[in-house]
Amino acid sequence: MEVVVVDYKGGNVQSVLFALERLGVAATLTADPALLRRADRVLFPGEGEASSAMQALRASGLVEVLPTLAQPFLGICLGMQLLGQRSAEGGAGGTPLLGLLPFAVEQFVPTPGFKVPHMGWNTLHNPQGPLFEGLSAEAHVYFVHSYAAPVGAYTIAEARHPTAFSAAVQHGNFYGVQFHVEKSGPAGTRILQNFLNLKC
């Protein structure tokens, strides 16, 4: 199986590569469209800020490439958010995103007792589909983010801080998780293995 990790200088790449190595997978870090198109699985990690990430994707030509991919694709943290239509992050008017899923990313509203950024372990609610096969009904995973996608028809798992948001999303072959699978212990490892095992 050929597994690639998208290289757009988007952060947390090494930890994702190490997590794959622990599963016996030697992934390739690349921005080469040919390698991305022929891969069996594509992972799209990200940390940082939406407008800078989109600028890097445009500069590398990946804005045109990523939406055309047909194999299982997993966006992680900011990589999940970038699958949406628009983010409130990035100044007046926000930032246009890749437009692969029909959500707009919004900033958490400060609420007494709930810090922003949302950082640490939280519970998954209502996990659905093959990505969560073998997990307990309320698995714990690790989040670090200040912006989130609302719950919608695309949501395949929720979390709360304090209101519900999309912890995982799916549209066709495009999956996204708001949490860091590579930092989420046994639950994250199982989710990552489930992604590698997805039927095309």
Taking residue 159's Cβ as centre, other Cβ atoms within 10 Å add up to 22
* Catalytic position from the list 64, 89, 182, 200: 182
- Mean pLDDT, range 157-177, rounded to an integer: 97
182 is catalytic: yes
* Catalytic position from the list 133, 138, 180, 200: 180
Helix H or strand E segment including 20: helix 13-22
CA dihedral defined by 88, 44, 133, 1, rounded to 10 degrees? Answer: 170
Check pLDDT > 70 for residue 200. no
200 is catalytic: no
Give domain 3-197's CATH superfamily: Class I glutamine amidotransferase (GATase) domain (3.40.50.880)
| Class of residue 29 by CB neighbours under 10 A (exposed 0-12, middle 13-18, buried 19+) | middle
pLDDT of residue 37: 97
Check pLDDT > 70 for residue 14. yes
140 is catalytic: no
Q: Give residues with Cβ within 8 angstroms of 161, minimum separation 6.
A: 108, 114, 118, 122, 143, 148
Check pLDDT > 80 for residue 128. yes
Taking residue 173's Cβ as centre, other Cβ atoms within 10 Å add up to 15
pLDDT of residue 90: 84
> Where are the domains positioned within the chain?
3-197
- Mean pLDDT, range 80-104, rounded to an integer: 95
pLDDT digits (tens, 9 = 90+) for 77-90: 999 999 999 999 98
Nearest-angstrom CA–CA distance, 170 and 101? 8
Higher pLDDT, 32 or 12: 32
CA dihedral defined by 34, 38, 43, 47, rounded to 10 degrees? Answer: 10
- Look over the chain and give the mean of its residue pLDDT values, rounded to a whole number: 95
Check pLDDT > 90 for residue 137. no
- Residue 58 pLDDT level (bands cut at 50, 70, 90): very high
* Catalytic position from the list 77, 89, 158, 161: 77
